[in-house]
Copies of this chain bind each other. A is one copy, B any other.
Amino acid sequence: MIIIIQCPDRVGLVASITTVLAKHELNVISLGEHVDKEEERFYIRLNVEQTKDAILLEQELEAVLPADSLITINPLPQKKIAILVTKEYHCLADILVRNYFKTLGAEVQCVIGNYDNLQDVCRRFDIPFYHVSHEDKTKPEFENEVLKTINKYVPDYVVLAKFMRILSPEFVANFPMKLINIHHSFLPAFVGASPYRQAYNRGVKLIGATAHFVTNDLDEGPIITQQTIHVNHSFSTADMVKAGREIETAVLAKALELVFDDRVFVYKNKTVVFE
């Protein structure tokens, strides 16, 4: 049983929580706790050996915690996701493989592409693919069609697996902290378009990738995880794109694992991640 709680900090929170658990003879296997002193905010994630009636437990925890606590017990074991793509295959294919072999920690419901070249790989894994072209459409028209397609399902998260169109605040507002993007740079370096070209021009000695929640501010949402790899003068922009594929795939996979495993808390523009 997983219990996750986020609330204003005060003395005695760990004792209050674990005393409720001990009363029911529940054994804490592992426990991540964090207090953000600047925000005076408390975060805890408990992995409990046994299972107990969640509704009862939540009532008892509510009774001993601050009024505005966010308590989740036994979060959805199997999240459902929709995926948006453009043309690049690597992140999508990695997710489809994990989905097929049941190691994704979530279920892929559908894939929506503004190009159709990834339709065939989805078909091979029996995943519905919707081609929603952005051509000859206004941005609201395009986004409405994407939204309508997503809404055929009720995904818990929408994953932008190298989706290369900028989404409007109106669209983003539909999925607060439910929209996960992989950005092909070690943010905040190289925001915006063509980060590998920017990296080449700047002559950096490392490139990276960043998985983050999407908010209204482009490339500015809470960061989930990020990594870098070394490059050198011999890398053309194309070489960086190629090397970047590997790290983008790995970073998005790691971020999804953390999110689907309920290890990521969001507060304001930051995340707390209990690995």
Contacts and interface: CB of A to CB of B under 8 A. Distances in A.
A187 interface: yes
Interface in A8-28: 9-16, 18-19, 21-22, 25-28
9 contacts: A12-B22, A14-B31, A37-B236, A93-B101, A188-B190, A203-B223, A203-B271, A204-B223, A204-B226
Interface residues of A, number: 65
A275 interface: yes
A227 interface: yes
A94 to B, nearest CB: 8
Where chain A touches its partner, the secondary structure class is: mixed
Nearest 7 pairs between A and B by C-beta? A12-B22, A203-B270, A15-B18, A15-B22, A189-B189, A14-B18, A233-B272
Interface of A: 9-16, 18-19, 21-22, 25-31, 33-37, 89-90, 93-94, 97, 100-101, 121, 124-125, 186-190, 202-206, 208, 222-228, 232-234, 236, 246, 250, 253, 269-273, 275
Contact of A93 (B29, B89, B97): B97
- Stoichiometry (number of copies): 4
A26 B14 contact: no
A30 B14 CA distance: 10
Contacts of A11: 22, 25-27
A202 B228 contact: no
B15 A21 contact: yes
B22 A186 contact: no
A19 B190 CA distance: 43
A145 to B, nearest CB: 27
Contacts of A89: 97, 101
A206 B227 contact: yes
Contacts of A14: 14, 18, 21-22, 28, 31
Contact of A223 (B16, B27, B202): B202
Given A233-B270, A250-B250, 18 more contacts: A12-B25, A15-B21, A15-B22, A18-B18, A27-B35, A30-B35, A31-B31, A93-B100, A97-B97, A124-B125, A186-B186, A188-B190, A204-B223, A205-B223, A206-B227, A232-B273, A232-B275, A246-B250
